[in-house]
Structure 1
Amino acid sequence: MVFLCLHAVQTIPYANLNRDDLGAPKTLTFGGSTRIRLSSQALGRPLRDYVEDTTGIHAVRTRRIGQQVTGQLRERGWSEELAAAAGQLVLDATGFKLDKNGTKSLLFVPSATAAQIADLCIEHQDAIEETVAKGKTDKKLISTLGAGVRELIGRRNGSIALFGRMLSELPGAGVDASRQMAHGFTTHTARRQPDFFVAVDDVTHDSEETGSGHMNHHEFMSGVFYRYAVLDLPELLAEDGLDGDTDTARTLVDAFVAGFIRVLPQAKKNVTAPHTVPDLVHMAVRTDQPINYAGAFEKPVAAEQGGGWARPSRIALDRYATAINRLMGADNVAFSGHASIADDEQLTGLGHQLDSYRALSQGAVDALFKAHTTPQ
C-alpha cells in the first residue's frame, strides 16, 4: 500500500462555486456549525478535465454513444438514414437498458470509442444496409455487432484508471478509481450571502425611461476552505487500471497533483473571478493508510484578532497533524512536506518546508514512486 495524501487550505473570496438545486452555495453542518461546502463531484470534474487536457489522455462520459456513432458515420459519407439506423443498431447491440436518449446508464469510455465502433459498422456495412432495407432486426447482426461493441466499450485508458468507472451492465468493465476526493468545506462557521442585482435594458435606458430590464437575487459565499484528496498508486497500476505502466502513471500523477493545486469549480466565474491558489499545501506519502485531517476543523476556527481565518486555519492544521503523527508514528511516512504563502510560520507537523508548490509536488511524487518499488 502506498498513498499520496494531498491537503490544501485555500482562501476563496465572494463566489458561488458549487450550487444546490435552488442555485445557492451548498452547505453542511460539522462540529455543530454551518459551513459552506464544495462537493467532491464539483471538485472532481474540473480536475478530470485538467488531467485530460494536460496529458492528452481523454475519456468521454455519455449516454449518447449511438448518436456519436451516427455522427462519425455521416462524416464518412453514410446517408442520414443509414447512419441513424446504424447508431440505433449499436445501442441495441450493447444489450444495455435504453431510453429515448440512449443508454440509461452513463458510459465512461476512451474518447476514441465512437470512432472505433464506427469502424466496426463499416466492416458490416452490407449487413446493416440489408437490415435497413428489410426494415426488421437481424438477430445475427445484432449478436455479431454486440460482441465487438461491448469489447470496445469495456476498454479503459489512463483517465478511466485514475477516476474509475461503474458499469454493472458489462461484467468486468468496472474500474475502481485510484483517486479519492473529499468534499471541501470552510474551516470556520460560514453562511450564504444574498446579493440583489438589476440589469439595465439599453434601449429603454437610452430613451430615458426609468426602471430596470431585469431584477433578481443570487446567493454567494466566501471563506477559507480545507480540501483533501488521496491517490492510491498500486490501484492505478493494477491489472484493471494501467497494468503496470509506470510511465503513464507518472504522467497522470504529475497532472493530478498539479490540478489539485490549480483547479477549482468554475460556476459563476464571470461575475466573481474567484481565481485563487491555496495558501498552504501539505503532501504526505504513507505506506499504511490515508489520513484525512478534517478533524482539525471540527471545532470551527475563530478569526484572529483584527480578522482573518487563513492563518488560524494553517496553525490548526499543523497542530492536528502533529497530534496525528504522535499517535500514529512516523514509520509509515515516506515523505512529508508543505509549502505556504507564510514562510515565517513554523509548521513542523506538516513536514519539511519547501519554497514552491512545484518543488513540493516533485518531491512528493518522487517519494511516492520510490516507496512503491521499495519492499515494505
Structure 2
Amino acid sequence: MTNFIDFHILQNVPPSCVNRDDSGSPKTATFGGQRRARVSSQCWKRETRQVFGDFLNQEDLGYRTNRIVDLLAEQIVAQNPDLEPESAKLAVDVFKALGIKLKASRAKKDAEEEVGNDVSTYLVFLSSLQLRQLAEYAVEKAANEEKPKKREIERLLNRNHSVDLALFGRMVADDASVNVDASCQVAHAISTHSVENEFDFFTAVDDVKSQDEAETDAGAGMMGTVEFNSSTLYRYATINLDMLRENLGSDDATVRAVDAFAQAFVKSMPTGKQNTFANRTLPEAIYVSVRDDQPVSLVGAFENAITSREGTGFVTPSVSRLVKEAADIEDAYGVKPLAQFTCGVGDSREQLRQIQEPVAFPQLVSDLDNLVTELLAKGE
C-alpha cells in the first residue's frame, strides 16, 4: 500500500510580480473560464530548494548545474592535491565515460586564451555524497592508470541520493539508467479568484541634478513601468512517501526529508521583484492530509472563481470552499485520509476545525514527522 502526503495551502500575496513570463508580465492562467494569477511549479520548487539549507546540512543536499566538471575537479583536488594539474581532465573522463555530452564554457569561447572547464549541455543533478564518491573513484583510477568504466559510474550514481534529488528527481538525457523518479509533485499555484494585471508607472530622480539650481531640466533620471497583480493563491504539492523512502534508502533520511519539505514549502516565497514590492507573507491556512489511496488536489473548489464581497475579501470564502471540497470528495468517493493536520491564522482557524483542530505550525510538523515514522515502521 502506497502512502501520499498532500499539502494544501491558501496564501495571500499583496501587489507583486514574483514570477514573470518572457515579456516581464506576472504569469497567469485561465481556469474555470477566468484569468488567474499563477506562480509556476518550477519557480516554487526552486525557492523550496533554496530554503532547504535552513533545515538540512549540505551533505543532505545536492547541486543542479552544468558546471559538473568544475565541481568534480574540486573534489578530486580536495582528496589528492597532487592531482590538481590534471583534475579537470580526470573529471571530464568520468563524465564522458558515462556518456554525458560536454561543450566549451562560454568563458572559454569568448576568451583569447583557454579559460574555464567544459560544461555539460544540460543541467545535471548530483548529490554532495555522489560527487565525493565520484572523486574517490577518479583518484583511484588515476593511481592505477585505468580508464573510468560506465557501469561502475552508474552504480555510484544510483545510490546515496540527496534529499532534494530524491524529492524532485533527476533526468540524464544521455543515460536513462541514472535517472531518478521524483517522489514529489508540485502544482502551479493559482489564485482562487480572477485577476487583472495592473501597471506601476515609476520615475527615478537624479539626486545631484535635482539640487543644481542652474539646472533647467527638471525631468526624471529614468522612468518605466512594472506590471503586477495581487492574489489569494491555492498551492498544492504531494509526496509519494514510499518512493521517497526508496530513493533515500533510509527511514531516518525519509523523515528528515518530509520535515524539511514541509517547512521549506510552507515558508518559501519566490523572490522576483521582492525589493520593489516587499511581498513576503506566510500562509493563512494549511491543510495536510496523509492518504493511502491516491493524491487528491482540491483545486476543483476554485473552478468557479470566488468574487469578493464587502467585509470578507478572498481568504474567508477560499477556506470555506477548501473545507467543503474536502468533505464533498470524502462523501462522494467514500475515501477518508489516514490522518489530517491543520494550521490557520485568524478566522481560518475556526473554519479549519471542521477538518481537524488547528495547531501551531511547529506542532503540525512534529505530528507529521511522528506519523511518517510510524508508517515507515509498519512498511518494513
Q: TM-score w.r.t. structure 2 length? A: 0.85
Q: Which whole-Å deviations, capped at 9, do the CAs of 1:175-211 have from their partners, x for residues lacking one?
A: 1111111110100001212111122333423435422
**Equivalences for residues 288-327 of structure 1 within 5 A:** 288-306=293-311, 308-327=313-332
Query: Could you tell me how far apart the structure 1 residues matched to 2:200 and 2:287 are?
Result: 35
Taking only the aligned residue pairs, the percentage that are identical comes to 32
Note the C-alpha offset of 1:250: 0.8
1:218 and 2:218 aligned: no
Name the structure 2 match of 1:157: 162
> Is this contact kept in 2: 1:66–1:90, CA < 8 A?
no
Name the structure 1 match of 2:115: none
Query: Could you tell me how far apart the structure 1 residues matched to 2:205 and 2:328 are?
Result: 56
Name the structure 2 match of 1:133: none
Report how many aligned residue pairs link the two structures.
358
1:230 and 2:238 aligned: yes
Note the C-alpha offset of 1:308: 1.2
1:106 and 2:123 aligned: yes
Q: Aligned letter for 1:28?
A: A
Query: Could you tell me how far apart the structure 1 residues matched to 2:31 and 2:55 are?
Result: 35
Moved over 6 A (4+): none
Name the structure 2 match of 1:333: 337
Distance 1:337 1:343, change over 3 A: farther
Tell me, which stretches of 5 or more residues in structure 2 are unaligned? Answer: 106-118
RMSD across aligned positions (CA): 2.6
Q: Which whole-Å deviations, capped at 9, do the CAs of 1:37-67 have from their partners, x for residues lacking one?
A: 0111111111122234412111011122112
Name the structure 2 match of 1:59: 62
> Is this contact kept in 1: 2:4–2:240, CA < 8 A?
yes
Note the C-alpha offset of 1:98: 2.6
**Equivalences for residues 267-306 of structure 1 within 5 A:** 267-306=272-311
> Is this contact kept in 2: 1:318–1:349, CA < 8 A?
no
Match of 1:69 among 72, 79, 97: 72
Query: Could you tell me how far apart the structure 1 residues matched to 2:165 and 2:349 are?
Result: 40
Distance 1:150 1:225, change over 3 A: same
Query: Could you tell me how far apart the structure 2 residues matched to 1:107 and 1:344 are?
Result: 42
> Secondary structure at the residue paired with 2:35?
strand
**Equivalences for residues 197-276 of structure 1 within 5 A:** 197-208=202-213, 209=215, 210-238=218-246, 241-243=247-249, 245-276=250-281
> Secondary structure at the residue paired with 1:144?
coil
**Deviating more after overlay: 201-210 vs 58-67:** 201-210
Tell me, which stretches of 5 or more residues in structure 1 are unaligned? Answer: 129-140
